[in-house]
Structure 1
Amino acid sequence: MAKRALCIGINDYPGTRNDLSGCVNDANDWAAELGGRGFTVSTLIDAQATRAAMSAGIAGLITGAQAGDSLVITYSGHGTWVPDSNGDEPDGRDEGLCPWDISTVGPLLDDEIRILFAQRAASVRILLISDSCHSGSVTRGDESDIDPGMPRARYMPLQDWMPGNELPASANRPRTLVSGLRRSGGDLLLAGCQDTEYSWDTSFRGRPNGAFTYYALKCLHEQRPATYEAWFAAIRGYLPSTRLPQSPQILGSATARRFRIFE
């Protein structure tokens, strides 16, 4: 059984005025964690993470897998949306990941990701960890690790990457990445927030990270949960909180949720 991973982290979004600070650290942190657990890891960082490279990287990971293999894809960066073009979205929007070159080529949409995921062989496990997207409000959780003056939302408004003459009338109403990806065919999705929320870019003890990534790895190291559902329950002890109003999500079958972590 092979174990392979692709970790994507994008801080630099040229031409958008929406740079982030913690996404490259997220990708490197996931890569170190997965490498230490026996995964062969590839990374796409900043300018490496073009739309074409992200698509090719995901495709290569999936088409090269055989029955029994375990695949992990992590993405840290902005999320965005475009008007739905084929009528398959109840909310009229296709959600997407924001590549480094989004200002020239646009996002990698959920419809495209779904097609890529559908190419996997039978009995290949896929875990997608997405630390990106949108807005909400609840109060709970321990915030003692967060640095003063933080956090920042990981959402890319349409007007910051789409030409003005192409903007839809509802461009100011964000939606999330999660709804599209839950139909993409992966066994399990761990997401930083609900459909109507942002995931937050912040810093902890002077080091930038995504809030979801930071607490996910903190729980993994300190509490050593055995299964994905136990890991998720531990993360929810930290998120949402007053300054980080994001509710992490776990999407997948009951069987997948009880899989042992990264096996």
Structure 2
Amino acid sequence: MAKTALCIGINDYPGTANDLSGCINDAQDWADTLQARGFVVTCLLDSAATKAGMVTEMQQLIGQAQAGDSVIVTYSGHGTWVPDISGDEPDSRDEALCPYDINSGNALLDDEIHQLFAQRAAGVKIVLISDSCHSGTVIRWAGPSADTQGPRVRFLPPAVWLPAERLPRAANGETLARRETRGAQLGGMALAGGDLLMAGCADTEYSYDAYFSRRPNGAFTYFALKTLPTLAANATYADWYKAIRDYLPSSNYPQSPQLFGPRHSRCFKVLD
């Protein structure tokens, strides 16, 4: 059984005022953890993590995998949404990941991720771990933090990178990019294919870019990796999720991690 992983971390978003701090650390921490568990890991960091680069690496990992193989993709960076043109989203919005070149309009849509994952051979197990937001507005959280630097949410509003004429509007003319998002948890991102999706927050919440002992990390990634050594040898993703929820949400980080996938997939052994 082959085990491969792609770890993506993007701090630098050229052309925007929305750079992050902890995403490269996240990707490197995931990579170290996965390598220790026998995965062959590829990392895409900052300028390497363009949309084309992300798609190419996913295609290669999934295309080379055979029945019984395991593929894990971790993503740390901004999330966003775009107007749904396929008609498959109940809230009329496609969730998306934000590659390094998002300012050129290159969002990676949940529909596109679904198409990539659908190319896998039968019997290939895929897990997507996403430490990003898919709704809300970029703000500085005003509450206390684990260090002197305040947490920052990992969401890039469409108004930052979409041309004004593409922004959907309400009946009163207000762009929906300025309105609070509502809808099913993670919307289409939860349907992005693969066996499991672990996500840092619910659809109406923020995933936080924070500092722990003066080192930047995503709060979800930090606590996910903190709990990992405490698990039993044969712990499942459901067990891991339960352990993470002992830490999140919290007063410092009001985000509720999510686990999506069929019951049998939740019983997979963690990072195996």
If the length of structure 1 is used for normalisation, what is the TM-score? 0.93
Q: Is the 8 A contact 2:12 2:19 kept in 1?
A: yes
Letter in 1 for 2:228: L
Q: In the alignment, which residue of structure 1 is the partner of 2:139?
A: none
Gaps of 5+ in 2: 137-142, 170-175
Q: In the alignment, which residue of structure 2 is the partner of 1:199?
A: 207
Deviation at 1:257, TM superposition (A): 1.0
Q: Is the 8 A contact 2:113 2:193 kept in 1?
A: no
Judged with a 3 Å threshold, the aligned counterparts in structure 2 of structure 1 residues 144 and 37 are, in CA distance, closer, same or farther, namely: farther
Bigger drift between 68-77 and 251-260 goes to 251-260
| Equivalent residue for 1:173, pick from 170, 179, 193 | 179
Q: In the alignment, which residue of structure 2 is the partner of 1:20?
A: 20
Please give the per-residue CA displacement for 1:154-200, whole angstroms capped at 9, x wherever unaligned: 00011111223332221123559932122222111110011111111
Structure-2 separation of matches of 1:190 and 1:32: 19
SS at match of 1:171: helix
Deviation at 1:8, TM superposition (A): 0.2
Q: Is the 8 A contact 1:79 1:133 kept in 2?
A: yes
- Output aligned runs, 1:81-230, within 5 Å: 81-134=81-134, 146-169=146-169, 170-173=176-179, 175=181, 178-224=186-232, 226-230=235-239
Deviation at 1:83, TM superposition (A): 0.5
Structure-2 separation of matches of 1:213 and 1:197: 16
Q: In the alignment, which residue of structure 1 is the partner of 2:70?
A: 70
Q: Is the 8 A contact 1:8 1:43 kept in 2?
A: yes
Query: Given the alignment of the two structures, is residue 253 of structure 1 paired with residue 262 of structure 2, yes or no?
Result: yes
Letter in 2 for 1:232: Y
For these two proteins, the number of residue pairs brought into alignment is 257
Structure-2 separation of matches of 1:189 and 1:72: 10
SS at match of 2:178: coil
If the length of structure 2 is used for normalisation, what is the TM-score? 0.90
Q: In the alignment, which residue of structure 1 is the partner of 2:244?
A: 235
Gaps of 5+ in 1: 137-142
Deviation at 1:144, TM superposition (A): 10
Letter in 2 for 1:261: V
Deviation at 1:35, TM superposition (A): 0.5
SS at match of 1:6: strand
Q: Is the 8 A contact 2:83 2:167 kept in 1?
A: no
Deviation at 1:232, TM superposition (A): 0.6
Q: In the alignment, which residue of structure 2 is the partner of 1:53?
A: 53
Structure-1 separation of matches of 2:267 and 2:146: 30
Letter in 2 for 1:212: F
Structure-2 separation of matches of 1:102 and 1:245: 27
Q: Is the 8 A contact 1:80 1:174 kept in 2?
A: no
Structure-2 separation of matches of 1:36 and 1:155: 31
Bigger drift between 37-46 and 55-64 goes to 55-64
Letter in 1 for 2:86: N
Structure-2 separation of matches of 1:40 and 1:134: 29
**Matched-pair identity in %:** 59
Structure-1 separation of matches of 2:267 and 2:252: 31
